[in-house]
Amino acid sequence: MITGPDIRSLLPIEILAGGMVITMLGVALKRNPTLTFICTLITLAASFLSVLFIWPAKPHAIGDLFLVDRFGCYFQALVLLSAFVVTLFSQISLKNFFPGKRKEEYYLLLLLATLGGATMVISTHFISFFIGLEILNISLYTLISYYRERPKAIEAGLKYLILAAMSSAFLLFGMALVYALTGTLSFQGLAATTFRHDSVSLTILITGIGLMITGMGFKLALVPFHMWAPDIYEGASSPISAFIATVSKGAMLAVLLRFFATADLFGFKKLMLVFTVIAILSMLGGNLLALRQNNIKRMLAYSSIAHFGYVLVAFIAGTGLGTQAASFYLTAYIITILAAFSLITLMSRSDNEATDIEDYAGLFWKKPVLATLLSITLLSLAGIPLTAGFMGKFYLLTSGVGKGNWLLAFTLVISSVIGLYYYLRFIFAMMRTDGQNFPIDSRPSYSSLTGLLVLSLLGAAVIWLGVYPAWLIRLVGSLT
Amino acid sequence: MILAWIILLLMGTGFLAWLTSRWSDILPRIISLAGTLLFLGVVLYLWFTHSASAVPSGNAAAGAWIIHYTHSWIPAFGIHIILAADGLSLLMLLLTAFLGVLSVLVSWKEIKTRVGFFHFNLLFILAGITGVFVSLDLFLFYFSWEVMLIPMYFLISIWGYENRTYAAGKFFLFTQASGLLMFLSILGLYFVHGRSTGVYTFDYEALKGTVLSQPTAFLLMLGFAAAFLVKLSTVPFHSWLPDAHTQAPTAGSVLLAGLLLKTGAYGIIRFVLPLFPQASQQFAPAAMILGVISILYGAKLAYAQTDLKRLVAYISVSHMGFILLGIYAFNQIAMQGVIMQMVAHAISTGGLFIIVGALHARIQTREIGQMGGLWTQVPKMGAMGLLFVLASLGLPGLGNFIAEILILTGSFMASKILTIIAAVGFIAATLYSLRIMQKVFYGTVLKKWEITDFGFREMIVMGSLAIVIIWLGLFPNSILNATQQMVQGIVQQVNITVNGPQNANTLQNASR
């Protein structure tokens, strides 16, 4: 029976869903991309405000399906903020690449995908989690290949479709195994029954969860489930790549954290060993593969593999400091990567996206503001002081060293030194002069002043978090 | 508070210089000069008002800070902004400010492109270095340690010479990798201290008393030592230095040699010895051997170079070997020598780098083979060259002589054999130093260059350096007195922890 408090707690999701229906009706009445764009922004903003409005003092469970607590609400807020920024830059990107028709559906799909993500982060049951995931996935198939005239869009969409479908299959099979053993689909129920098994059922349980890890690892693009990432990042438009890197991965990480905490799985040595191996492979693999990339989107894809490997260091550290560190790092990463992809959108011209390293040559002398912002972003990804990335990495290392995971801490350190190389490569490309003296573009061709403003805000947030992170540390500390 | 203001002053000046470069090229230079001069003025004021109170008082309590400022930063982790200065910090700040002014001056004509951004980087390096010299919170220290790297990387990679990308990348990767190892050690120390006392803090004073088991202490000490030995360009980790020094613009070389290398020595004295006295004792033989190897190997390679700037860079490797040898001798005489060497080396090598830079600007080459008999053309430059070459070979009357004699006297008490071998470095120093004079300024004229001598601005720079190096040679007490208390405290602490108070006293008496 749904009660009043339940409805209140689900307000953000209801607003998203309702806003989407209204927007869709609006599109049916009159096709107007600007109107749809504004409706989308209003829906997202209203949903975000409602998260602040319902900010729960104590967790509120809705059946077995959802748990609306601070942790869930925090991630909902992150998802909605990211979606908001992505929408803003989508408009710029659509205007550039898609001057013709068919713009409205894009926003609807974006809202739908956001709804999926926002559902995932508060789910405590395999069914609600899976429905949220599929809503997200199916919208993404379309969004990735939305610019179908572009050469690599269809290829990327199909690739994502096949691999995501397969990973969903793994996930479902894993869930089925767990269900067969425990007779329950809720995370909580799993915790209650976990330790009452003999070694045979324990093997089945671990197999089931192992299969689920495969499915989740795919969504997070962890090595060895990472092959899709660079192609999809490259094929999709920059805002959609940003969406995958933030909303899709962020929501999945939230589910992972909640699943392991609620089902109390941190005690399983074997599973933690699996994660340790995955983390080490991701950190080293992602950074090594990124070394020779000349395409900035592929580079960011590989670097995001490495970054989620870093986050696993905090994840393995378990509840408490580990969860806080993961939440902090994810926040820092989301802000940074949003800035990076927004920048690519702003840099792009109507005929192609600015993805090659050559497009950035001498940027410091041509567009100093954009170049400075991109440098801040890259330095934050590299984890250099004065940026959010440094504080995030400090948090991760603290959680890792605090649990005595020296191997992971060392790998993190070594791989971030490797990572420095390719971030510096791009920064250096921006400083190149090629012997010619570039005149400063006094009349900037920024396609949108709003875009530049939002980008500057993101850049300022990166610096602010790097210099004064105390408030966010307090906030993520109050989540669990 | 004044220390925080100094750092903010430098950063603010940097931003201002960058902003004003829109309108004119001369404005950033003037602003930076004014900023660094103000910095120098403030530090001089601090020096003269406080050096009186730093005079040894018999009871050497380490931790007698002249200036101390604390402000909460990230309370959740026990991170504070703790800025403090004692005699050593003040001396290093003085050096930073002095070389800061000079590096603005030497770039006046050399840097013609992106002037604003250049000065922005220059001032941020100075801010980072200042932060390193006054931070007493280990997190803040690491923060500053990293902050000085990025602008230095830019400085080399944008305004450097032909092979700058390679050199800048190498410099960055070496220092970053070793710095991260130190960061792991800092975290390790933080947790060990937190677990045993329940207080999680990065405060230096609190961490100093941490009780560590022997293997843990040694491992943590190695993490710190890695960062500092790389910075000090001790021999197996030195290969970034010749590249970075050679490719950097003159101001960059001056800052690298004069200040960045010194942060390594400062780090060992300030952090490694007090935090891990016992582990340092264990490490001392290895460190002293590395020091001697650096002295001889650096000298040998310096002699073999044909690139004048690279030659000077290897001189640094050799001189840093003396510093390492002196620190790990663990007695007051050697430690005083080390501090003297830090200052004297900064001045003498800085002077040599400026001369090489000036030569390069005039004849577009650094190849010694292309020079020869330049004295007749540029007598002022030749005279200055002679002075700094003699300084770096350790001529009595100049700063380096005092430093090296003190170090060798001190280390003789610790290890006779190593000291005897290290003394051979003096002969090598004479060889490579005189080779500079012989090949560049004397000898046959190989090529007829049409070059101008030092101008007014350059003579001010070189003149002030010359005064300082002679002053150091004639009145070393002005520096030794200011730092004696601090040195005494640290040496005593290291020896007490290991040998017990009795032994330490005898050592102290022996060193008097």
Which range, of A352-366, B309-323, B376-390, averages the lowest pLDDT?
A352-366
Residue B98, domain member (yes or no): no
Lowest mean per-residue pLDDT among A110-119, A161-170, A191-200, A426-435: A191-200
What integer pLDDT is reported at residue B498 of this predicted model? 65
A469 touches chain B (CB under 8 A): yes
Domain presence at residue B72: no
Name the minimum distance, in Å, from the CA of A475 to any CA of chain B.
11
Which residues in chain A touch residue B149, judged by CB atoms under 8 angstroms apart? Answer: 384
CA distance A126 to A143: 25
pLDDT computed for residue B52 by the predictor = 55
- CA closest to A416 among chain B residues: B177
Tell me, what's the pLDDT at B231?
92
Q: Is B123 inside a domain boundary?
A: no
Residue B447 has pLDDT above 80, yes or no: no
Q: What is the per-residue pLDDT for B62? A: 42
A384 inside 8 A of chain B by CB? yes
* Of B233, B251, B239, B280, residue with least CA distance to B156: B251
Q: Name the band, by pLDDT with cuts 50, 70 and 90, for residue A436.
A: low
Q: Tell me, yes or no, if A475 comes closer than 8 A to chain B by beta carbon.
A: no
What does the pLDDT look like over B213-247, one tens digit per residue? 889 999 999 999 999 999 999 988 899 999 999 99
DSSP 8-state assignment for residue B81: E
pLDDT in the model for residue B55: 46
Nearest chain B residue to A395, by CA: B77
Token pair of A363 as six digits: 């940027």
Contact: B176, A417; criterion CB under 8 Å: yes
| Cα(B109)–Cα(B28) distance, integer angstroms | 13
Contact at CB, A420 and B184, closer than 8 angstroms:
no
Interchain proximity B157–A385, CB inside 8 Å: no
Q: What is the mean pLDDT of residues A397-426?
A: 90
Domain annotation covers residue B196: no
Report DSSP state, residue B77: G
Q: What is the pLDDT of residue B500?
A: 56
> In this predicted model, what pLDDT tens digit does every residue of A298-321 receive, in sequence order?
999 999 999 999 999 999 998 888
B176 vs A contacts (CB less than 8 Å): 417, 420
The percent of residues in chain B predicted with pLDDT above 90, rounded, is 52
Band the pLDDT of B499: cuts 50, 70, 90: low
Q: What is the pLDDT of residue A194?
A: 62
Question: Is position B315 within any domain?
Answer: yes
A431 and B154 within 8 Å at the Cβ level: the answer is yes
B376: containing domain:
278-484
Determine the residue of chain A that is closest to B192 in CA distance: A402
Q: Are the Cβ atoms of B76 and A470 closer than 8 angstroms?
A: yes
Given this model, what pLDDT does residue B453 score?
Answer: 85
B380 within domain boundaries: yes
What per-residue confidence (pLDDT) applies to A197?
63
pLDDT digits (tens, 9 = 90+) for A183-209: 888 988 888 776 666 778 888 888 999
In the structure, what pLDDT confidence band is assigned to residue A103 with cuts at 50, 70 and 90?
Answer: confident
At which residue do the structure tokens 């390719």 appear?
A: A422
- Contact flag A473-B183 (C-beta cutoff 8 Å): no
Interface test with B, best of A287, A324, A431 (most B CBs within 10 A): A431
Q: Which two tokens stand for residue B444?
A: 């046959």
Q: Which of A398, A468, A470 is nearest residue B187 as measured by Cβ atoms? A: A398
Which token pair is B53?
Answer: 């109170």
CA distance A124 to chain B (A): 30
Backbone conformation region of residue B212, classed left if phi is above 0, alpha if psi is from -120 to 50, else beta:
beta
Among the partner-chain residues A390, A417, A431, the one whose CB lies closest to the CB of B177 is A417
**Residue-level pLDDT at A214:** 93
Q: How far apart are CA A256 and CA A318, in angstroms?
A: 11
CA-atom Rg of chain B in angstroms? 22
Which segment of A60-69, A379-388, B55-64, B272-281 scores lowest on mean pLDDT?
Answer: B55-64
Q: What is the total count of domains within chain B?
A: 1
* Min Cα separation A247/chain B (Å): 28
> pLDDT, tens digit, for every residue of B257-273?
999 999 999 999 999 99
DSSP 8-class letter at B311: H
Closest A-chain CA to B72: A470
pLDDT of residue B295: 93
Q: For testing the chain A interface, which of B20, B22, B74 should be mutated: the one with the most A CBs within 10 Å? A: B74
Is residue B461 within 8 Å of B380, Cβ to Cβ? no
Tokens, residue B471: 């002053």
**Length of chain A in residues, anyone?**
480
A401 in contact with chain B, both atoms CB, cutoff 8 A? yes
Q: What is the pLDDT of residue B61?
A: 43
How many beta-carbon pairs below 8 A join chains A and B? 67
| pLDDT at residue B506 in the model | 47
Q: What is the mean pLDDT of residues B293-305?
A: 92
pLDDT at A265: 85
Average pLDDT of A33-46? 93
Name which of A80-84, A388-392, B310-314, B486-490 the model is least confident about. Answer: B486-490
* pLDDT higher than 90, residue A296: yes
Judging contacts by C-beta atoms under 8 Å, the chain A residues touching residue B193 are none
- pLDDT tens-digit map of B25-38: 889 999 999 999 99
Nearest to B159 by CA among B231, B101, B107, B124: B107
pLDDT band per the 50, 70, 90 thresholds, residue A432: confident
Q: Are A420 and B176 an interchain contact pair (Cβ–Cβ within 8 Å)?
A: yes
Question: What is the per-residue pLDDT for A442?
Answer: 44
Between chains, do B183 and A413 touch, taking CB under 8 Å as contact?
A: yes
